[in-house]
Chain A
Amino acid sequence: GQSLEQPSEVTAVEGAIVQINCTYQTSGFYGLSWYQQHDGGAPTFLSYNGLDGLEETGRFSSFLSRSDSYGYLLLQELQMKDSASYFCAVRSGNTGGFKTIFGAGTRLFVKA
């Protein structure tokens, strides 16, 4: 089967750095994605890691270690608007088709 684990909630203060971890178990692994979702909104794509290492996009960075089945999302210089749910998701499949399976999400609260 497939499973992803991420913390249910994280709280941090404005201006700080926060790391949201994700561990996964899946077959046919292709890559790990991260999405942000504000209350009442749709998920928005943040990043994708297909290879080991760090990907940086502005204040957000994402890391993947395929050998450890582990990744994280790093948010720097936190702002109040970063308060949202963050989902890790694995891309897996084979020639029969690919699918993106989501974790349960991490609720990030940013305090002033």
Chain B
Amino acid sequence: DTAVSQTPKYLVTQMGNDKSIKCEQNLGHDTMYWYKQDSKKFLKIMFSYNNKELIINETVPNRFSPKSPDKAHLNLHINSLELGDSAVYFCASSQDLAGVRFFGPGTRLTVL
């Protein structure tokens, strides 16, 4: 069974479009995250949710809107996509103070 899953795996779209990425974890974890990894492989935290509540928002443009319908799901909607949004987006989850344990496979977003 996949612990953290994301869809889609690849997303190619035009500037100005709106797109969503979905994430689900079957580990029963309370905390879920979105990370962005740029072309230089730098992993930057974007959001963190605990039990469906937003607890961390790392000064991400408000074009990015996360939504957590329940603690097993954390989706990411992006409005008015820009070239600089091209990156790999990873969903992740954790349960304890040890931090992020499980990452999803990633969604490679390419904005043309």
Contact = CB atoms under 8 A, between A and B. Distances in A.
Interface of A: 30-31, 33, 37, 41-45, 48, 50, 85, 87, 89, 91, 96-102, 104-105
B97 A45 contact: no
A96 B105 contact: no
A99 B98 contact: no
Given A42-B90, A42-B104, A43-B90, A100 B97 contact: no
Contact of B55 (A45, A97, A105): A97
B42 to A, nearest CB: 6
A47 B98 CA distance: 9
B66 interface: no
Given A42-B103, A99-B58, 18 more contacts: A33-B99, A33-B100, A41-B105, A42-B105, A42-B106, A43-B103, A45-B101, A48-B99, A87-B43, A89-B100, A91-B98, A97-B50, A97-B56, A98-B99, A99-B56, A100-B100, A101-B45, A102-B35
Residues of A contacting B: mostly: strand
Contacts of A104: 40-42
Given A85-B41, A100-B45, A105-B41, A50 B104 contact: no
Contacts of B48: 97-99
A45 to B, nearest CB: 5
A43 B4 CA distance: 12
11 contacts: A30-B97, A30-B99, A42-B104, A43-B43, A43-B90, A45-B102, A50-B98, A89-B99, A91-B97, A100-B45, A102-B45
